[in-house]
């Protein structure tokens, strides 16, 4: 079969970077594959560089080792060796074709046919490959789709989705990121029909993709489409409203995927956090927004200090966004919350003991009582004022 390049472009700068160049020199037949080629042609910065090669993994390891480059067998089962060069890792994957699929995982066989490898990739714009000389190979019209801004499956969309339902969410990842503006109508129809298959994906995978979608600079149209096609209710059955996300973004909230998830939710956030298996840190942030009180622009300093003593600024600020607090007054409030020092209650248990209270439960009770007094006063009492008040209480003074 003839295999001639579709396009030749001046080799992009990253090809001659000191970390990558020796890897390409050791594997001259290898091509840059997938996302990096897409991003180069879009004129976007290239993050990860993945390589593909007809060589078997063993031969890749041998060639790299001979060139003095560390080869780590990170995924030999699916043909991936990581070349570690100058502290950077490049995944080198042997060309593959699918032998069997089950809706998520594929059994693969190695091949030396570049077209076969491209055929198992998800979207035409992700199925491009490029040599180190800038020869771009395009077997499925990916360049035309990049130019036309169309996101299209390689091959029959329904078949490709049934092979791996994750591709539904990947579709929205690239749409959200603006790698393409238009969704191929055949893909849209197949996605709608494929929604029930989303239930087969692990929660971790779903959140991984969802957070990437939500973290995109402008995910509104994508999330709206997800809602229309039934994908959004399938991944957040507890209840999600795309309109709420649109509202959040219209107010200029930061591109924080978790804040955007919180805005979307109409159902129980605890249930969502558990089901999507959010990390503990993510879960804590999400739930804190739902329980923290709302700071308002008209609040005085005493009130803000009290709130900051009880809640991290991040929580209070997120809460204002989720209350759709937009405009100059709310922005000023957020500025203030971010810059005010957080008041710290100045006494500890040992201060209570030092004043003659025997160690035991009374120490904690007194501390809590005194902290409450300190909060009521706007967190202005310093250690010595707190000690005086404590003494007054210990020695039987009334409140």
Applying CB under 6 A, which residues contact ligand ATP?
A: 34-35, 47-48, 50, 121-122, 126-127, 164, 166-167, 170
Nearer to ligand ATP, 167 or 387 (CB): 167
1 binds, among ligand ATP, Mg ion, none (CB under 5 to 8 A by kind): none
Q: Which residue is nearest to ligand ATP (CB)?
A: 35
Name the minimum Å distance from CB 109 to ligand ATP.
16
Q: How far is the CB of 166 from ligand ATP (least distance, A)?
A: 5
The site that binds Mg ion (CB under 5 A) totals a number of residues, namely: 2
Nearer to Mg ion by C-beta: 122 or 351? 122
Contact of residue 167 among Mg ion, ligand ATP, none (CB under 5-8 Å per partner type): ligand ATP
Q: Is 261 left (phi over 0), alpha (psi -120 to 50) or beta?
A: alpha
Q: Which does 69 bind (CB under 5 to 8 A by kind): ligand ATP, Mg ion, none?
A: none
Segment 6-35, which members bind Mg ion (CB under 5 A)? 35
Q: Indicate the residue among 49 and 64 with the shorter CB distance to ligand ATP.
A: 49
CB atoms near residue 82 (< 10 Å)? 18
- Provide the pairing of β-strand 129-130 with 135-137: antiparallel
Tell me: does residue 122 bind Mg ion (CB under 5 A). Answer: no
With beta carbons less than 8 A apart as the criterion, state whether 140 and 81 touch. no
Kindly tell me which of 121 and 306 has the beta carbon lying closer to Mg ion: 121
Do you know the residue count of the chain? 399
- Minimum distance between the CB of residue 296 and Mg ion, rounded to whole angstroms? 43
Q: Is 48 in the site for Mg ion (CB under 5 A)?
A: yes
Q: Considering the complex, what minimum distance in angstroms separates the CB of residue 35 from ligand ATP?
A: 2
Position 75 contacts Mg ion (CB under 5 A):
no
- In the complex, least distance from residue 136 CB atom to ligand ATP, rounded to whole angstroms: 14
Residues ≥6 apart with Cβ < 8 Å to 319? 289, 292, 293, 294, 295
Task: Pick what 166 binds: ligand ATP, Mg ion, none; C-beta below 5 to 8 Å, kind-dependent.
Answer: ligand ATP
Give min distance, CB of 146 to ligand ATP, in A.
Answer: 12
Our CB check for Mg ion shows the closer of 48 and 102 to be 48
DSSP alpha helix (H) spans, 43-132:
57-66, 114-119
- Cβ nearer to ligand ATP, comparing 145 with 164: 164
Give the nearer residue to ligand ATP in terms of CB position, either 208 or 247: 208
Number of H helices, E strands in the chain: 21, 12
CB 66, CB 25: distance < 8 Å:
no
Long-range contacts of the stretch 129-132 (C-beta < 8 A, 24+): 129/31, 129/32, 129/33, 129/34, 129/37, 129/52, 130/9, 130/31, 130/32, 130/33, 130/36, 130/37, 130/40, 131/5, 131/31, 131/32, 132/11, 132/15, 132/24, 132/28, 132/30, 132/32
The beta-carbon contacts of 363-369 under 8 Å, at least 24 apart in sequence, are 366/390, 366/393, 366/394, 369/393
In the chain the first and final C-alpha atoms are separated, in Å, by 92
Task: Select the span of 45-53, 185-193, 292-300, 383-391 touching Mg ion (CB under 5 A).
Answer: 45-53
- Minimum gap (Å) between residue 47 Cβ and Mg ion: 7
| Stretch near Mg ion under the rule CB under 5 A, chosen from 48-56, 140-148, 158-166, 182-190 | 48-56
| Minimum separation from the CB atom of position 118 to Mg ion (A) | 16
Measure Cα distances from 352 to 75, 277, 355 in Å. 59, 42, 5
In whole angstroms, what is the distance from residue 211 CA to residue 46 CA?
A: 20
Binding site partner of 164, from ligand ATP, Mg ion, none, Cβ cut-off 5-8 A by kind: ligand ATP
Distance, CA of 394 to CA of 125 (rounded, Å): 74
Closer CB to ligand ATP, 200 or 329, in the complex: 200
**Among 40-48, 136-144, 279-287, 367-375, the segment contacting Mg ion (CB under 5 A):** 40-48
Pick from 305, 304, 340, 343: nearest CA to 320: 304
For binding to Mg ion (CB under 5 A), which residues are involved? 35, 48
């Amino acid at each position: 079969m003839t295999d001639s390049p579709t396009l030749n472009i001046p080799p992009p700068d990253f090809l001659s970077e000191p970390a990558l160049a020796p890897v390409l020199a050791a594997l001259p037949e290898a091509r840059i594959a997938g996302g990096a080629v897409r991003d180069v042609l879009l004129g976007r910065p290239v993050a990860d560089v993945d390589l593909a090669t007809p060589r078997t993994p063993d031969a890749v390891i041998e060639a790299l080792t001979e060139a003095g480059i560390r080869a780590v067998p990170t995924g030999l089962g699916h043909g991936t060796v990581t070349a570690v060069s100058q502290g950077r890792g490049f995944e080198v994957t042997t060309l593959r074709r699918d032998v069997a699929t089950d809706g998520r995982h594929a059994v693969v066989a190695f091949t030396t046919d570049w077209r076969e490898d491209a055929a198992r990739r998800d979207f035409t714009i992700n199925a491009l490959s490029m040599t180190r000389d800038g020869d771009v190979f395009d077997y499925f019209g990916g360049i035309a789709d990049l130019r036309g801004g169309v996101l299209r499956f390689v091959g029959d969309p329904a078949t490709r989705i049934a092979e791996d339902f994750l591709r539904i969410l990947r579709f929205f990842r690239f749409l959200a990121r603006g790698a393409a503006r238009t969704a191929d109508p055949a893909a849209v129809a197949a996605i709608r029909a494929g929604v029930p298959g989303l239930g087969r994906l692990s929660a971790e995978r779903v959140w991984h993709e969802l957070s990437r979608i939500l973290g995109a600079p402008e995910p509104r149209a994508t999330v709206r489409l997800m809602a229309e096609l039934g994908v959004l209710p399938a991944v957040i059955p507890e209840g999600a409203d795309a309109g709420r996300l649109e509202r959040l973004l219209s107010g200029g909230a930061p591109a924080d995927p978790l804040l955007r998830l919180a805005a979307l939710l109409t159902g129980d956030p605890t249930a969502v956090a558990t089901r999507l298996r959010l990390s503990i840190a993510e879960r804590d942030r999400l739930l804190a927004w739902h329980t923290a009180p709302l700071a308002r622009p008209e609040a005085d300093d005493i009130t803000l200090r009290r709130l900051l003593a009880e809640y991290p600024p991040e929580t209070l600020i997120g809460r204002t966004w989720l209350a759709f607090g937009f405009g100059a007054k709310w922005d000023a409030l957020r500025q203030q919350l971010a810059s005010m020092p957080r008041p710290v209650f100045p006494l500890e248990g040992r201060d209570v003991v030092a004043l003659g209270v025997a160690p035991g439960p009374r120490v904690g009770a007194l501390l809590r009582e005194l902290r409450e007094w300190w909060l009521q006063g706007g967190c202005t009492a310093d250690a010595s004022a707190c000690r005086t008040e404590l003494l007054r209480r210990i020695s039987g003074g009334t409140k």
